[in-house]
Structure 1
Amino acid sequence: MKKLIPLILGLGLASIVIAQGNKPTIDYSAPPNATFTAEEVTVSGNGYTLAGTLLLPRNSKRRLPAVITITGSGQQTRDEPIPFPNLEKYRPMRQIAEALASRGIAVLRVDDRGVGGSGGRDTLMTATSSSFADDVRAEVAYLRTRSEIDPKRIALVGHSEGGMIAPMVAASDPQIAAIVSMAGDGKRGDLISKEQLEDALAPLNLPPETANQERAKQAAIIQAVQSGADLSNYPAEVRLPWIKEFWTYDPLTTIRKVRQPILILQGALDQQIRAEQAGMLERAAREAGNKDVTKQVFPNLNHLFLPAKTGSFSEYSTLATSVIGDDVLKVMGDWLVVKLKAKP
């Protein structure tokens, strides 16, 4: 399930990635005096429809390049908000979409299946990251039907799990023009979960014996899931197909198959996807022969690409800034303008 990436503790499953529920009325229209329009669209595929917003730069005399944004883990609406009062304005996918549209790039962002205006809720219990990649493929197919869009200049921008899904789609579709991975997974999920457990245990100052018990509980659950053992006595979350794929899928195997240009963006303080994973993705892609790989690590930014002191999940409720910095948007925008041959 595109649910919460789990952190296995003694008390069960604790989320370190936010799931965002539905919000009934959200204004997705373009800002006043914007140089682009905002069109509400529906994307069909896989037995249900996805609701989204397509930003189209105004007054273009030729077909436009386009970007599809892909949200991170959790049942996310198209803007990828998170439910902290201090981060009420955190809408990274909207911010990215509007920044790119102002530079001549059309952008499609959609509600995840089963969330917001999208259908497919009855599929969530069996869905995996690969399933969500199929949703992105449906979005790509939709853009290729639009007369305003150049089908050969479509790129993908994914955050967190979305940064893992983007290479899945690009590896299977050579017509994708480029991908941007923002804090995308560079390790198998079981290894990430173990790192996340260590980060969670560190500030608790537990006795060594207690901490080791927590590690053993996590290791036992991961082993049971990976081996296909009977999970009837385990928490419901670990019986989901999403979890098994997450704990067995190696993103480096996929990134080695990507031949399109790749931009890897990472916050140096990220404690959900450690910064070293950006280097792992870069090396794997380059060693496989991809000569167009760019990596940028931003100091003092966390997993949300927001300024932070420690980068820990527990710090989210005290963050002072709720918008992605212009430096991140500029690096991404400059790179995509070149790769997609966009004209503002």
Structure 2
Amino acid sequence: MKTIKTLEIEIPVDGLVLSAFLHMPDVPAPPLVIGCHGLFADAESPKQKALAGALASKGIAFLRLDHRGCGKSGGDFKRDTTFPARLGDLKAARAAMKARGDLGGMVGLFGSSMGGAVCLSSAFNDPVAALCIYAAPAHFAPLAGVLRSSGDDKRLSPRFFAPENAFDLPDDPLETGPILVFHGDRDQVVPVAHGREIYERAAGPKSIEIFEGGDHPMNDPGHQALFLERATAFFNRYLNGL
């Protein structure tokens, strides 16, 4: 069993300091996966913590990032949360990890819900060795509608909903690198049609796993186990070549 260290990392961006946790296996220059949490979540996401442990046991480092205004990171959640801001957080994290001398050059991304859309956009602009997303929205408008109908829009500033801060899949094929898409077919927040569209638009190599009866938070223990098994195998294949 590999020894795993967890390091607390600080990443500067836009005058703020982001908090992150780097799970480092005791192997030279390991590949890295960076995780982006959902809109109202943080780096303590159970999916991320489980995946971080599983990947570190395979010799793959994992960075759990607190976006601005979330968890231990600086900033104010309501004031600072927009899609471009979260994309900027991930860009800063990718640059900070690239500048370290103890990581290899192979990088993957994992994102859940809005974090999946952030990772998808980041990989579209700067492809990665492996991209895994769960319950990611392909378009902003339906998500905005869900937030308004639930009253969660009050937790966000008007800037979050401004047209210039919205996101949609680009018209071009999604040249992101290898991609694995997970989605539940009973997701009431981000309907499964989003996951299917992302999969269809992806240039590949690509694969998709639809959880029968699966909800947005992935509450089913069987789905959690299958996710962990297949996501670990996916990253191990494309980052370790195994």
- TM-score if structure 1 supplies the norm length? 0.63
2:134 corresponds to which residue?
182
The amino acid that maps onto 2:159 is P
Q: Which runs of 5+ in 2 are unaligned?
A: none
| Structure 1 residues 237 and 304: CA distance shift in structure 2, 3 A | closer
Q: Quick one: which of 111, 115, 130 aligns to 2:84?
A: 130
The Cα shift of 1:193 comes to 4.8
Q: Quick one: which of 152, 157, 167 aligns to 2:110?
A: 157
- TM-score if structure 2 supplies the norm length? 0.87
1:167 aligns with 2:120: yes
The amino acid that maps onto 1:56 is M
| Structure 1 residues 115 and 73: CA distance shift in structure 2, 3 A | closer
The Cα shift of 1:41 comes to 1.3
| Structure 1 residues 248 and 69: CA distance shift in structure 2, 3 A | closer
1:332 corresponds to which residue?
231
Deviations 1:286-341 (A, max 9, x none): xxxx131111112232111222xxxxxxxxxxxxx5x9622110110111111112
SS at match of 2:181: strand
Could you tell me how far apart the structure 2 residues matched to 1:148 and 1:254 are? 38
The amino acid that maps onto 1:332 is A
Q: How does 1:1-344 map to 2 (within 5 A)?
A: 35-58=3-26, 60=27, 62-74=28-40, 76-80=41-45, 91-121=46-76, 124-151=78-105, 153-174=106-127, 176-186=128-138, 188-194=139-145, 240-245=158-163, 248-250=166-168, 252-253=169-170, 256-285=173-202, 290-307=203-220, 325-341=224-240
Could you tell me how far apart the structure 1 residues matched to 2:171 and 2:4 are? 35
The Cα shift of 1:47 comes to 1.4
Percent identity, please: 23
Question: How many residues align structurally?
Answer: 241
Retained in 1: the 8 A contact 2:129–2:178? yes
Retained in 1: the 8 A contact 2:42–2:70? yes
Please say which structure displays the higher CA radius of gyration. 1
SS at match of 1:269: coil
The Cα shift of 1:126 comes to 4.7
Could you tell me how far apart the structure 1 residues matched to 2:157 and 2:7 are? 39
Retained in 1: the 8 A contact 2:78–2:155? no
| Structure 1 residues 126 and 156: CA distance shift in structure 2, 3 A | same
Retained in 2: the 8 A contact 1:125–1:240? no
1:227 corresponds to which residue?
none
Pairwise CA RMSD: 2.8
| Structure 1 residues 48 and 324: CA distance shift in structure 2, 3 A | farther
The amino acid that maps onto 2:90 is V
